[in-house]
Amino acid sequence: MTREQLETHQIPIYFAAVLAAVAFGLLASDTARPLQALVTPAIAVLMYAMFLQIPFLDLRQGLGNRRFMAALLLANFILVPLLVWAITRGLIDQPALLVGALLVLLTPCIDYVVVFTHIGKGDARLTLAATPVLLLAQLALLPLYLALMLGDNVRLAITPFVEAFVLLIVLPMALAVVTSAGARRSRVVAAWNHAWAWLPVPAMALVLLVVIASQIAVVQGDFKHLLPVVPVYLGFMLAAPLLGMFAARLLCLSATEARSVTFSAATRNSLVVLPLALALPEEVRGLAAAAVITQTLVELVSELVYVRLVPRLVR
């Protein structure tokens, strides 16, 4: 199999990983639960593999599209937070669900959104180039949004956010930049870089496997408690793409750029925020993490709808 074939078939690979994880997690929950310890390392490996695909040393060209960046930031950090605030008001009396929903819905995806954008006929290269900006913006704004929307319901420590930022963002990004710079001077580093170009798809499948397998039993056990958050996710699934389209039209983007903004607005950062949910106070940790996983399962199904509808709606 070539790398191109691997990337072409990545969606079936991801769904196979999800199905395998669900089966393993439910049928062998005692064996699967310790996989939780692998969640953060697996995500760090995925982020390094993804960052290696970003032309950090040539970002000026990608970030030079100011209208695209403005639409992306408008959709993800103004319009979507307003939507999230509105649709989560019904969870005020259920702080664990509220914090889980806010964690996952306030953070735009920076990994497999590139895949779905490409399949949905968007500009995946622009989305990839915008990844560092999306990362830094969401990590800077997430504590502020949480403080405003949670109020006194849940008190969060800043330490887990700092640790996640360093382990999942700063270190993988710094290593990727160093690797990319070294690849221009060394054949050995260039060969290493080339080898890692094969890994984003397997790394994503691994992350889905360890995350879902280790948490699916918790989701099953808390299913009746999770029901109130499902309509929130379905409402987001329906409204978020419309906000992306609105932002794109407001900034007069081309069709491919508009599709990219639409996918970004609708796709959330569930895999990266899961370690944050697992670091919450004990009284809300389990249900908040289960709420994050539930969003992942809803989103993977919704993406299959998006890749068919978005190219038809955004022309």
- pLDDT tens digits along 236-295: 999 999 999 999 999 999 999 999 999 999 999 887 788 888 778 778 888 988 899 899
113 torsion bin: left (phi>0), alpha (psi -120 to 50), beta (else): alpha
Cβ contacts of 106 within 8 Å, gap of 6 or more? 80, 81, 84, 138, 141, 142, 145, 146
pLDDT band with cut points at 50, 70 and 90 for residue 57: low
CB 96 within 8 A of CB 288: yes
Residue 230: per-residue pLDDT: 95
- pLDDT tens digits along 128-175: 888 878 888 888 898 899 989 987 766 666 676 677 778 877 888 889
**In the predicted model, is pLDDT for residue 58 greater than 60?**
no
Domain 41-313 matching CATH 1.20.1530.20: the answer reads yes
Residue 157: per-residue pLDDT: 67
Residue 3: per-residue pLDDT: 76
The four Cα atoms 165, 216, 84, 114 give a dihedral, to 10 degrees, of 60
**DSSP letter (8 states) at residue 287:** H
Cβ contacts of 80 within 8 Å, gap of 6 or more? 105, 106, 108, 240, 243, 265
CB 249 within 8 A of CB 258: yes
How high does pLDDT run on average in the chain? 87
Residue 285: per-residue pLDDT: 81
**In the predicted model, is pLDDT for residue 55 greater than 80?**
no
Scan for tokens 């990362």, then name that residue: 135
Residue 62: per-residue pLDDT: 56
